[in-house]
Amino acid sequence: MAPKITDFVEDAGAPGIIAGIGAVLLAPVLLPVVAGIGKPLAKSLIKGGILAYEKSKGAFAELGETWEDMVAEARAEIAEDRETPAFEAASTPGDRTLDNGG
C-alpha cells in the first residue's frame, strides 16, 4: 500500500509543514546562488584532480621502471644461480689446502 500525503502531513506537524513551504518558496532564490558557488568549486576540484593525475603519471612511470629493473635483476640472479653448479658455489679458494707431507 502506497503512503498517502495525509500521512506525511500528520507526521510532520506544523513545524514540518512550515519548513516545507519555506523550502518551496526559497528554492528559486537559493538554487541559483548554490549553483553559482557550486560551479566554481566543482571546477577547481576538477582542475586539482587533473593536476594531481598528471603529476602522478610521471611518478607511476618511474615506479614501473624501477619495478621492471628489480624484476630483471632478480631473473638474472636466478639464471646465474642455475648456471653455477652447487659444488662450485659452496667451495671457495681458501678451502683448498695442500698437504706437503709435513
Residue 85 is predicted with a pLDDT of 67
Q: Is residue 101 part of a domain?
A: no
Q: Is residue 93 part of a domain?
A: no
Grid coordinates given for 70: 628489480
Q: Is residue 59 part of a domain?
A: yes
Q: Is residue 57 part of a domain?
A: yes
The residue type found at 70 is M
The model's pLDDT over 36-83, given as tens digits with 9 standing for 90+, comes to 787 888 889 899 999 888 888 888 888 999 999 999 999 999 998 888
Q: Is residue 45 part of a domain?
A: yes
Domain tally for the chain?
A: 1
Q: CA–CA separation, 41 vs 36, rounded Å?
A: 9
Q: Which of 12-16, 27-31, 79-83 has the highest mean pLDDT?
A: 79-83
**DSSP per-residue letters across the chain:** -PPPHHHHHHHHHHHHHHHHHHHHHHHHHHHHHHHHHHHHHHHHHHHHHHHHHHHHHHHHHHHHHHHHHHHHHHHHHHHHHHHS-HHHHH--GGG-------
Instruction: Evaluate if residue 100 carries a pLDDT over 80.
Output: no
Q: Is residue 9 part of a domain?
A: no
Domain of 48 in residue numbering reads as 17-83
96 or 24: which carries more pLDDT confidence?
24
